[in-house]
């Protein structure tokens, strides 16, 4: 059954040759697959229908209508049968930004590398916001490295449509947020990246992505997130009332100044709130950057190997049967879903 009405072809899951498990996310398992045409391998996300039908279809729908962008994926195929929903996106052999950071000296990036990756992420978010989409799940695990060394964002099941300069309202502490909660006022995310207004239940807009970019920049610079606590409650408390260490102390360089302005707890005072990405692009940390030529003249800090290593042929149906996927969305250590009522 072809669930794609936008021109992307359908692929029978049984005609695809899966050679590697790339990862498990909040809503499914991602396989590296080949089709019978012998084309380049691609990433296939597979979700059992009993676990996250609505989130899967939401992500497919969003990918279908995304206009082309160098730092966002495109939909290769999508289809379903009685048991699974699946869709394909380009394979990124460089892995994710979290794994790449851990391969650096002291597990941190240089300021030049941070500038490169933040610039591309900023342009990707700008493109999403221009199309009325709040990403809402920015974190290193969702930033993949293409063969070219440039980034691409992935996992859009938490993204939501927002009209310009409006907020997605939430009743304070009213609705338990869980991976299966599809109400318009729900929010599921990684707790260390959640913006203060989401925890408070004030409603949120596109600026939640700028907050998350501030957390990301801090982690890339210092090797840890700025508000990490011993547990979820302490993390939320720090997000609400604490200032990040090392930021706002003494004379700030360009990067720490940018981080401080992105980690403004009042969204109306946060950099990017009023004029979106344009405000951030004008910050002195990006001074001299030729935005329109970013993919052409700037050499990426890291170029992945073209070699694709598989694990042999994997039967996708047997894989799900063997791991005994429960009737709830898959979780991994990097997917700490937030329940606002826990705070």
pLDDT digits (tens, 9 = 90+) for 220-237: 999 999 999 999 999 999
What was the pLDDT predicted at 185? Answer: 45
Task: Please tell me whether residue 90 adopts helix, strand or coil conformation.
Answer: strand
Taking domain 97-297, whether its CATH number is 1.10.510.10 is answered by: yes
Contact 30, 22 (CB under 8 A): yes
Contact 220, 101 (CB under 8 A): yes
Contact 41, 34 (CB under 8 A): yes
pLDDT at 10 over 90: no
CATH value of 13-93+306-331 in 3.40.190.10, 3.60.15.10, 1.20.5.510, 3.30.200.20:
3.30.200.20
Extents of the domains making up the chain? 13-93+306-331, 97-297
Beta bridge partners of 90: 42
User: Rounded to two decimals, what is the model's pTM?
Assistant: 0.85
Selected residue with higher pLDDT from 271 and 182? 271
Contact 33, 88 (CB under 8 A): yes
pLDDT at 181 over 60: no
Contact 300, 148 (CB under 8 A): yes
pLDDT at 132 over 70: yes
Contact 23, 90 (CB under 8 A): no
Q: In this structure, what token pair is assigned to residue 98?
A: 């979290």
Residue 119: band (very low, low, confident or very high) from pLDDT cuts 50, 70, 90? very high
Contact 32, 22 (CB under 8 A): yes
Query: Of residues 137, 209, 335, 336, which has the active-site annotation?
Result: 137
Identify which of 151, 143, 295, 278 has the alpha carbon closest to the alpha carbon of residue 212.
143
What was the pLDDT predicted at 247? Answer: 79
Q: In this structure, what token pair is assigned to residue 229?
A: 């606590």
What was the pLDDT predicted at 126? Answer: 97
* Mean pLDDT in residue range 168-191: 43
Task: Report the percentage of the chain scoring pLDDT > 90.
Answer: 62
Contact 319, 313 (CB under 8 A): no
324 labelled as ligand-binding? no
Task: Report the percentage of the chain scoring pLDDT > 70.
Answer: 79
pLDDT at 274 over 50: yes
Q: Please enumerate in sequence order all residues whose Cβ is within 8 A of that of 327, keeping only pairs 6 or more positions apart, or say none.
A: 50, 51
Contact 86, 78 (CB under 8 A): yes
Strand-strand pairing, 84-90 and 133-134: unpaired
Terminal C-alpha separation, the chain: 43
Instruction: Please state, in angstroms and rounded to a whole number, the distance separating the CA atoms of residues 203 and 172.
Output: 9
Whether 137 is catalytic is yes
pLDDT at 95 over 90: yes
């Amino acid at each position: 059954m072809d669930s794609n009405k936008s021109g992307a072809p359908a692929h029978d899951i049984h005609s695809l040759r899966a050679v590697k498990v790339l990862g498990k996310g909040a809503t499914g398992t991602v396989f590296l697959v080949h089709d019978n045409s012998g084309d380049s391998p691609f990433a296939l996300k597979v979700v059992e229908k009993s676990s996250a039908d609505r989130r899967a279809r939401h992500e497919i729908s969003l990918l279908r209508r995304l206009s082309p962008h160098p730092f966002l994926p495109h939909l290769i195929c999508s289809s379903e049968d009685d048991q699974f929903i699946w869709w394909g996106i380009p394979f990124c052999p460089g892995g994710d930004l979290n794994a790449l950071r851990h391969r650096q000296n002291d597990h941190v990036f240089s300021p030049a590398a941070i500038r490169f990756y933040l610039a591309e992420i900023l342009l990707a978010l700008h493109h999403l916001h221009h199309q009325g989409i709040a990403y809402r799940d920015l974190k290193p695990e969702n930033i993949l490295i293409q063969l070219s060394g440039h980034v691409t964002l992935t996992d859009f099941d938490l993204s939501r449509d927002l009209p310009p300069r409006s907020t997605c309202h939430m009743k304070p502490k009213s609705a338990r947020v869980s991976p299966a909660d599809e109400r318009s006022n729900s929010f599921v995310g990684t707790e260390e990246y959640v913006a203060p207004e989401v925890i408070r239940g004030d409603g949120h807009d596109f600026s939640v992505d700028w907050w998350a970019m501030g957390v990301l920049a801090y982690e890339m610079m210092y090797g840890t997130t700025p508000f990490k606590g011993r547990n979820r409650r302490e993390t939320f408390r720090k997000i609400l009332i604490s200032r990040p260490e090392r930021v706002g102390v003494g004379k700030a360089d360009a990067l720490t100044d940018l981080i401080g302005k992105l980690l403004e707890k009042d969204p109306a005072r946060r950099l990017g709130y009023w004029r979106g990405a344009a405000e951030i692009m004008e910050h002195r940390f990006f001074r001299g950057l030729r935005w329109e030529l970013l993919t052409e003249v700037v050499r990426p800090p890291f170029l992945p190997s073209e070699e694709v290593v598989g694990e042999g042929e994997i039967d996708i149906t047997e894989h799900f049967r063997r791991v005994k996927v429960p009737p709830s969305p898959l979780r991994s250590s990097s997917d700490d879903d937030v329940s606002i009522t826990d705070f």
